[in-house]
Structure 1
Amino acid sequence: MTAETATPTPPRKALPETVPLTADDIRAALRDGVADFRARPVMSAFFGAFYAVFGIALVWVLLSLGKVWMVIPAIIGFPLVAPFAAAGLYEMSRRLKAHESFGWSDILTVMARQRQREMGWMAFVTLFIFWVWFYQFRTVLVIVLQDASFSDLDGFLATVFFTPEGWLFLAIGTCVGALLSAALFTVTVIAMPMLLDREIDFITAMLTSIRVVRENPVVMLGWAGIITVTMVLSLIPAFLGLIVTLPILGHTTWHLYQRAVRPVEQASAQPTP
């Protein structure tokens, strides 16, 4: 093939440019997240309340259907879908930072439009990992507690927390759950707000999220720890703590994304080597 007829190889699309993070970035993002919540407390709390009511309804349905064994994985795995549920909070923070006025219809309309964008694929990834969590929980339950019997929630909890087999079950389930949570956090923590903010494919968004976590392991591990502890404490009072904590975490995640990934206009202005 001659040089005249050769088809040039299209240039590889570069990932968005990332910025190193420090603990100060988390503190600053938290301050901005709290400020966003205080700027629109009712609208922010609405998303937290919706998430809490959904969690309460999920547990009630499982108990009504006699699916006692599913209550624990539902409660523990419930926070896995929080990043997708926070899409409206990301949009609120974006508009607040840009000093744009907005109302309920603006935010809800933007959320509805995400179905037609790459955010839908991220929802699929999130729900798939949620399904894997339930499947592995059931598998470990059958293998470890195969001879145990429980007909109500109290009996199930007694078996899990007060028998040697239950302790083994908790140890294995905790390790597997931690791995799944770490994987989901890594691919979504930056990807979710980025997909709402930019016209970008979900693969690029996930790769960027992975890159941010890989380049800032200590900082991002700290942020993951804050999210985990906050969500667990919020679930204790019948999910009601989520009314406040989920919006603050959602707003904060948006601001952390803004600090972790260089804006498009700034990235394009960087001198090329």
Structure 2
Amino acid sequence: MEATGRLPAVRGIDAAAPFRWLGWAWRDLWTTPGPLLLYGLLISATSLALSWAIYRTNAAFWVLALTFGFVFVAPMLAMGPYEAGRRLDRGELPRVLDLLLVRKALRQDVAYLGLALLVIYFFWGRIAQIVYGLSTWQIYRTIPEFLTFALTTAEGQRMLLVGSGIGGIIAYGTFVLVAVSAPMLLDPRASVFAAVATSVRAVSRNPGPMLLWALVILALVMLSAATAFVALIVVFPWLGLASWRAYRELVAEAPEPAAARPLNPVATR
């Protein structure tokens, strides 16, 4: 940690860990559903409004490109659910204001991580634009037109293959950096450098389970996009809580709950 100049130890996990995190998070979600579902509703409504606004400008490609790019910025948007997980660990029930204004996230190190993710997000958008531009000279103004091109033509299929490959590499690299670091930064002792280094070490020690966790997150986000982001109302806070559980199990020196009877099974490990 920053206070001692020493990085926290990371634990090894088994392949069932991602599903264990989801199970704990599902229980936590329904422990205090009101604030968390409202948070999810705000994320869902914002995502839908932004996508609709882009679509109305006849930019079907950008709707899809930015939807896939959502995974790059989601960790910073999930500070509310991380805070809910932290409070539940302490035996507290979070309120709406606790999630909307996370005081522990209002510091320089969190801003640095957010800026880095924003740069990666814009970089992904530029890469997607280049791949699209090299694949076709036409502008597809509606989503059905774009999907017809992408799925039924050789050029479109190559675009999907190349774009998915490059995007997957960028997305997984981003995941390695933030899998643990985003929730870890709610600990005021942690610097952004220590948090990112700890995240990399946690993924490196558990490559199989963490790859599975990344695929689970991607699948749930894509499922949410397929429902016009309606599923994000539940999925977003659920994944945020699960990411907090992942941090608590992976990082040996994660702050222990203060409550005598913790709400999270990880606290009793």
Report the TM-score when normalising by structure 2: 0.88
User: Which residue pairs with 1:140 in the alignment?
Assistant: 131
Deviation at 1:220, TM superposition (A): 0.4
User: Which residue pairs with 2:201 in the alignment?
Assistant: 211
The farther-off stretch of 168-177 and 28-37 is: 28-37
Runs ≥4 in structure 1, deviation > 6 angstroms? none
Asked whether 1:68 is paired with 2:56, we answer: no
Mapping 1:223-262, distance limit 5 Å: 223-262=213-252
User: Which residue pairs with 2:26 in the alignment?
Assistant: 34
Asked whether 1:104 is paired with 2:96, we answer: yes
Q: Is the 8 A contact 2:59 2:140 kept in 1?
A: no
Mapping 1:163-202, distance limit 5 Å: 163-202=153-192
Deviation at 1:92, TM superposition (A): 0.7
Relative to structure 1, the CA distance from residue 265 to residue 150 in structure 2 (aligned partners, 3 Å threshold; closer, same or farther) is: closer
Distance of 2:136 and 2:15 partners within structure 1: 42
Relative to structure 1, the CA distance from residue 172 to residue 162 in structure 2 (aligned partners, 3 Å threshold; closer, same or farther) is: same
Deviation by residue 1:43-97 (Cα, 9 ceiling, x = unmatched): 1112221111111111111122232321110111123221111101011111111
Q: Indicate which of 137, 152, 158 corresponds to 2:142.
A: 152
User: Which residue pairs with 2:51 in the alignment?
Assistant: 59
Relative to structure 1, the CA distance from residue 179 to residue 105 in structure 2 (aligned partners, 3 Å threshold; closer, same or farther) is: same
SS where residue 106 of structure 2 aligns? helix
Q: Is the 8 A contact 1:81 1:126 kept in 2?
A: yes
User: Which residue pairs with 1:270 in the alignment?
Assistant: none
SS where residue 189 of structure 2 aligns? coil
User: Which residue pairs with 1:22 in the alignment?
Assistant: 14
Q: Is the 8 A contact 2:32 2:93 kept in 1?
A: no
Deviation at 1:123, TM superposition (A): 0.9
What are the ranges of 5 or more consecutive residues in structure 2 without an aligned counterpart? 257-269
User: Aligned-pair RMSD on alpha carbons?
Assistant: 2.0
Counterpart amino acid of residue 62 in structure 1: I
What are the ranges of 5 or more consecutive residues in structure 1 without an aligned counterpart? 1-11, 267-273
Counterpart amino acid of residue 64 in structure 1: R
Deviation at 1:121, TM superposition (A): 1.1
Distance of 2:254 and 2:244 partners within structure 1: 16
Percent identity (aligned): 28
Counterpart amino acid of residue 24 in structure 2: D
Larger-Rg structure: 1
Q: Is the 8 A contact 1:55 1:78 kept in 2?
A: no
Q: Is the 8 A contact 1:47 1:86 kept in 2?
A: no
Distance of 1:197 and 1:13 partners within structure 2: 15
Q: Is the 8 A contact 2:10 2:251 kept in 1?
A: yes
Distance of 1:125 and 1:219 partners within structure 2: 25
Deviation at 1:149, TM superposition (A): 4.0
